[in-house]
Amino acid sequence: MNTNINIRTTSELKTNANDVLKRMGLDMSTAVNIYLTQIVYRNAIPFEISVPPRRTAKLGGWEGKGYVSDDFNEPMEEFEEYMR
């Protein structure tokens, strides 16, 4: 016997997901059933859930190479040499 599941999402997410699923030859109902079946088989959510990494500025090759110097000119001399 089939049953219905009602979920709330944004119309944009629903549209985008439907577009992707259509290209894969799937409909939303089939995709949700695949997802739920995998939860049961794995006894867990079938993918890692994480927060996207924070975007950081690139430092032009200087990542992890910083240090505190007693002489202010020393880091500037190294930088100038690096830029050559």
| Inter-helix orientation angle 11-23/28-42, to 10° | 90
Residue 71 has pLDDT above 80, yes or no: no
Distance separating alpha carbons of residues 12 and 52, to the nearest angstrom: 20
Q: What per-residue confidence (pLDDT) applies to 31?
A: 97
Task: Name the region of 65 (left: φ>0; alpha: ψ -120 to 50; beta: rest).
Answer: alpha
Domains of the chain by residue range: 11-42
The C-alpha angle with vertex 78 and arms to 75 and 79, in degrees rounded to 5, equals 85
State residue 60 phi and psi, 5-degree precision: 60, 40
Q: What per-residue confidence (pLDDT) applies to 57?
A: 63
Q: What is the pLDDT of residues 19-69, one digit of tens each?
A: 999 999 999 999 999 999 999 999 999 999 988 777 766 666 666 666 666
pTM more than 0.75: no
| pLDDT-derived band at 77, boundaries 50, 70, 90 | confident
Read off the DSSP letter of residue 71.
S
